């Protein structure tokens, strides 16, 4: 895990090269689940969870466009290989109650994007930020994947967890993943995402029908 103290990953690699440890520097980095390795995740998870077939449903027209073998095999933003359809569809939502996977056409479909989400109670590394103890909004930075860039955000604390409003929309903020917060190059803490909030697709739907003004009232 990096950084190691004040050393960044590039610093450690440079030290390794100086000590003739090229083998470790050139070794491919793991981006997936380490204990699965190169195995297909769906094949791996089938060893532990039985198939439970259900429908793939197009979010734009509510039509069934295919069948899946279990919602546990799919994650938000993942491409779904639907036979007979020339377009690429991506996992947009999963409904446990009716065992349905909702899919959207195109990797940039607005249902995949949101700028507000909710978390469980946060774990703060040092202490609760002063702004939150005063009942104010905390302005800081956020990310939920190590490959993502930091995004400015506003954080509001509640009795149940955090409400996080982003300065820019993000793709596929997924419940179960962890939101990490930082300020002035210091990691403040993290919290588990419990709800990805309302998507841009839903906002557009409400706005086009003049419903947003009623909600604001």
* 42-77 pLDDT per residue, tens: 777 777 778 899 999 999 999 999 999 888 888 899
What pLDDT is recorded for position 35?
59
Q: pLDDT of 99-112, one tens digit each?
A: 999 999 999 999 99
* pLDDT for 158 beyond 80: yes
Please give the backbone phi and psi of residue 175, each rounded to the nearest 5 degrees, phi first: -55, 140
Q: How many CA atoms lie within 13 A of 34 on its CB side?
A: 3
Give me 53's structure tokens: 């077939």
Secondary-structure percent of the chain, ordered helix, strand, coil, rounded to 5: 20, 35, 45
The pairing of strands 138-143 and 123-124 is unpaired
Give me 74's structure tokens: 């799919």
What pLDDT is recorded for position 3?
56
Peptide bond into 75 cis (omega under 30): no
**CA geometry: angle at 155 spanning 152 and 160, to 5°?**
145
Q: pLDDT of 182-203, one tens digit each?
A: 999 899 999 999 998 877 777 6
What pLDDT is recorded for position 211?
45
- With the C-alpha atoms ordered 133, 2, 152, 213, is the resulting torsion angle positive or negative? negative
Q: How far apart are CA 28 and CA 159, in angstroms?
A: 43
Alpha-carbon distances, residue 199 vs 48, 89, 100, 142, 192 (angstroms): 32, 17, 18, 18, 19
The pairing of strands 100-105 and 54-58 is parallel
- Tokens 């449903």, located at residue: 57
What pLDDT is recorded for position 147?
80
Give me 179's structure tokens: 């939101």
The pairing of strands 64-68 and 113-119 is unpaired
Q: Could you tell me the domains of the chain?
A: 1-30 (no CATH), 41-107 (2.30.30.280), 114-201 (2.40.30.10)
**CB 196, CB 117: distance < 8 Å:** yes
Residues 150-160, mean pLDDT to the nearest whole number: 94
């Amino acid at each position: 895990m990096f950084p190691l103290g004040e050393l960044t990953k590039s610093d450690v690699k440079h030290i390794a090269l100086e000590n003739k440890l090229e083998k470790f520097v050139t070794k491919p980095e793991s981006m997936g689940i380490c204990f699965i390795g190169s195995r297909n995740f769906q094949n791996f998870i089938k060893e532990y969870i039985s198939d439970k077939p259900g429908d793939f449903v197009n979010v734009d027209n509510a039509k069934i466009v295919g069948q899946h073998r279990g919602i546990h095999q799919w994650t938000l933003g993942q491409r779904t290989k639907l036979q007979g359809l020339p377009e690429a569809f991506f996992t947009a939502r999963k409904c446990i109650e009716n065992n349905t996977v909702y899919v959207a056409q195109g990797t940039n479909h607005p249902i995949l994007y949101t700028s507000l989400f909710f978390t469980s109670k946060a774990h703060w590394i040092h202490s609760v930020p002063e702004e939150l103890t005063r009942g104010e909004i905390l302005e800081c930075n956020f990310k939920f994947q190590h490959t993502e860039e930091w995004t400015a955000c506003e954080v509001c604390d509640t009795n149940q967890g955090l409400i996080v409003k982003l300065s820019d929309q993000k793709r596929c903020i997924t419940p179960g993943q962890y939101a990490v917060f930082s300020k002035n190059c210091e990691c403040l803490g993290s919290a588990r995402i419990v709800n990805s909030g309302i998507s841009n697709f839903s906002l557009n739907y409400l706005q086009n029908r003049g419903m947003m003004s009623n909600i604001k009232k």
